[in-house]
Structure 1
Amino acid sequence: MALEKLYSVEEVAEMTAVTTRTIRNYLRKGVLTGTKIGGQWRFRQEDIMHMFNQEKNASDFRETSSRIVRDFLGGQYKPFSELVSICTVADVACTKEQAKAMSKTLCELWKQADIRGITFRYDDLEDSEAARFTFVAPLTLTENALAVLHQNK
């Protein structure tokens, strides 16, 4: 049986494009749950997904999606080992349940790739049956992610 990957505060902050202080505030407010191991917080993928899915965080995360794009265009991202880094904003027509399933599959894809620096966000678009997926990743991983979004709709 494979051990489940646990993420540190720093890794969650990097993945979600928020500060470690924001992650600690989410912990304090109960928005994010985790487990303390050896005095340090660790988070399962399900803990992180639950945080994304809470409605009260929607506006914070939408702003973060915009910041991901601004930071990328402003040269704030270091290139990955591949020569090409891609910032993707994909709007996908789907139900909330389909969006959650796609998000979970993408998180698995990121976890399997085990590449530091990938930034990912997904938001349900208000007043429509669609979700927005925003991420920065190397070319090959971006191709795989877009295939996931195309196949699951």
Structure 2
Amino acid sequence: MNNESLYTVDEIAKKLDVSPRTVRRYINADAIKAVRIGGQWKVKKEDLTAYLNGDRGPFKEVSHDHIKEDDLCVFMDSEYYRSDSRIQICSIIDINLKDKQEATPIANEIMELLNSDDACCGNNAKFQYIYKDKEQIARFVVWGTPSSIEQIMQLVKRHE
């Protein structure tokens, strides 16, 4: 194995803009394939590429517009979700639903709100979701300013 094609946990953390602890979580969850060499985790370039393309681990069925299970950790550990706003909020919304089709209208409503010309949301908010079949839960993760999160919560509240 050529050492030049292997990345350390710290190198991957820097590339992904997350903490080394988050990278180790990804490795332990088998989202990133890694091998131990000399007591340290090493990741082949192609395995990192597979992770980034969504071809690996528990996230392989999740497309770019859905949430990865560790997105909350990424929010806490990185600069990725930073905004110019003084206050940034990340919130998880779980809605018990019978099937994925029930989640689609809610996701579409949130998307319409975020794509609207309303200055409250616009580029100040992001959201992702996943439907967990086993638990019959639609999990929405939203990021944004207090005003944008308030609007999203008001929208979701209509589905109580």
| TM-score interval (norm. to shorter) | 0.5 to 0.7
What is the RMSD computed on CA atoms of the aligned residues? 3.3
Match of 1:94 among 87, 93, 97: 97
Q: Note the alpha carbon deviations across 1:76-114, whole angstroms, 9 max, x for none.
A: 122343x21111111111232331110000001111146
Instruction: Please state how far the C-alpha of 1:60 moved relative to its aligned partner.
Output: 5.2
Larger Rg: 2
Point out which structure has higher relative CO (alpha carbons under 8 A, 6+ apart): 1
Instruction: Please state how far the C-alpha of 1:118 moved relative to its aligned partner.
Output: 3.2
Could you tell me whether the CA contact under 8 Å between 1:79 and 1:85 is conserved in 2? yes
Q: Does 1:125 align with 2:129?
A: no
**Which 5+ residue runs of structure 1 have no aligned equivalent?**
1-20, 27-55
Which has the larger share of helix? Answer: 1
Q: Does 1:70 align with 2:77?
A: no
Q: Note the alpha carbon deviations across 1:3-51, whole angstroms, 9 max, x for none.
A: xxxxxxxxxxxxxxxxxx99xx79xxxxxxxxxxxxxxxxxxxxxxxxx
The aligned amino acid for 1:138 is T
Aligned residues with identical type, % of pairs: 17
Q: How does 1:3-152 map to 2 (within 5 A)?
A: 58-59=61-62, 64-76=67-79, 77-81=81-85, 83-95=86-98, 96-112=100-116, 113=118, 115-116=122-123, 118-152=125-159
Q: When the two structures are aligned, how many residues end up with a matched partner?
A: 101
Could you tell me whether the CA contact under 8 Å between 2:66 and 2:129 is conserved in 1? no
**Which 5+ residue runs of structure 2 have no aligned equivalent?**
1-48
SS at match of 2:130: strand
Distance 1:125 1:72 in 2: 21
